[in-house]
Structure 1
Amino acid sequence: MSAKYTPSGPISRAIHELEETVIALLLGLMTLVTFANVVLRYAFSSQLIWGLELTLILFAWLVIFGISYGFKVTMHLGVDAVLALVSKPAQLAMALIGAAVTLVYLLLLLKGAWDYWAPFAGFNATSGHWFPTGFADSRDQGWYETEQIPIPFLQGWLEATFNMGEAYEKMPRFVPYFILPFGVLLMVIRVIEATLRIYRAGEGSLIVSHEAEDAVEQVAAMNKED
């Protein structure tokens, strides 16, 4: 039932490969930093003081970035028991309704993500309780820093652009927090793409169908072999 994503054209394939590369790099960096910390701790009685904080940030980036990728390639699990009981036209209507509700939820999440991140970057949060009605003055929090992570490059530009020329001792928080609005924006784009794909194909959904049944059948087959 799921309308699977297939890259078409060189640009789509390049973007698809870039997303997969970013996910692999995030996972690889998490593993590398954690492994290095373990070796330093037990072999040299030392550690990367910023290692744990960086790993947590990389994990957050991986999860949020991975959610949008999951929408794109239809990897998210869901329950389709009701869909299986209705006709094809009804399945399409229900899938489109589900996609529309998901999109509304993500737009609300995008507003919240921007409003949380913007003050850390010196921007204004949006006004309005549910949907943005404009921008409201926000207290500039661009001077907030991470606990231990150093700035590997562009320190002067970051200070001049986001901290009124004042020096940063550690990485400013708006850098790791940027994944919030950016990641949710990617989710919005991917859900719109998936919705259009479902509409054009006349079938499909945002979830992986029959995942549970396949797992049950595999377990049953293994039990019979035993």
Structure 2
Amino acid sequence: MSGHNPQSPRSFIDSLEETMIAVMLGLMTLVTFANVVARYVFNSNILWGLEVTSILFAWLVILGVSYCVKKTAHLGVDAIVSLLSPPARKICTLLAVACCIVYAFLLLKGGWDFWANFANLPATTGRWFPTGFQDKFLAKGWYETNDVFMPEMFQFVADWFNDGERYEKIPRLIPYVMLPFGMALLLYRFLQAAWAVYTGKQMLIIVSHEAEDAVEEAAAKAAREE
């Protein structure tokens, strides 16, 4: 049995995750191409292009972390666990994924705490694990990005977060929301992986030797063609 997840019916979260990644890649390509054309053909510049691309790239990285957990595509070292018996290997993998779950939970807390005040919401209290929510905090819903203009159709957000005062640029709560969302998705994926390992559907939470097998297969194919 390999370290990869077996094929299973696609859930709504799977579809949402993959659609978002595809849309982000497409938008990054489109905006970058349009900016190059504007600069070298029309001697102009899309002012907000760089910031939009940076935001999309950051979102893509955050989503990519959880996506790689789902696909067991993260790199790791299995030199020791490969020498163990299947029961011992399972225990080691469960211990590893338990550490990952704790780490993802800490990242979720940090992501929420960073984003919350920008959405006029309280951050959690407690240094490591949440012990409650802030009683007093500085609401930062009025903070805007540097260059990305606020589309008219989304100005209703100003009534929720900016006391009805119109935004000139998009509020920072929009790009920053990917932090708690992405970390919650990462935690969910690690919980999924833990259950898959516990039930015997998966052996490892890292990429196993499929890459080496693919390289050897390609080398053998090239040798046969010669």
| TM-score normalised per structure 2 | 0.91
Asked whether 1:178 is paired with 2:173, we answer no
1:144 and 1:173 in contact (8 A); partners too: yes
1:64 and 1:180 in contact (8 A); partners too: yes
1:119-161 deviation per Cα after TM superposition (whole angstroms, max 9, x unaligned): 1110011000110000112211111100010122543321110
Paired-residue identity, %? 51
1:64-97 deviation per Cα after TM superposition (whole angstroms, max 9, x unaligned): 1111111112121211111111111111000000
Match of 1:166 in 2: 165
Please show how residues 75-224 of structure 1 align to structure 2 within 5 Å: 75-136=73-134, 137-201=136-200, 203-210=202-209, 213-214=212-213, 217=216
Aligned residues: 223
Label 1:84 to 1:147 Cα distance change in 2 as closer, same or farther (>3 A).
same
Letter in 2 for 1:147: N
1:170-224 deviation per Cα after TM superposition (whole angstroms, max 9, x unaligned): 0000001000000000000111011101111165121110256447646865997
1:77 and 1:207 in contact (8 A); partners too: yes
Match of 1:43 in 2: 41
Letter in 2 for 1:57: I
1:7 and 1:16 in contact (8 A); partners too: no
Distance 1:14 1:135 in 2: 31
Label 1:202 to 1:17 Cα distance change in 2 as closer, same or farther (>3 A).
closer
What is the aligned-residue RMSD (CA, Å)?
Answer: 2.1
Unpaired stretches in structure 1, ≥5 consecutive residues: none
Letter in 2 for 1:196: W
Please show how residues 62-73 of structure 1 align to structure 2 within 5 Å: 62-73=60-71
Distance 1:79 1:102 in 2: 15
Q: Aligned to 1:109, what secondary structure does the other structure show?
A: helix
Unpaired stretches in structure 2, ≥5 consecutive residues: none
Distance 1:83 1:130 in 2: 30
1:3 and 1:198 in contact (8 A); partners too: no
Distance 1:170 1:154 in 2: 13
Distance 2:35 2:178 in 1: 25
Label 1:14 to 1:212 Cα distance change in 2 as closer, same or farther (>3 A).
closer
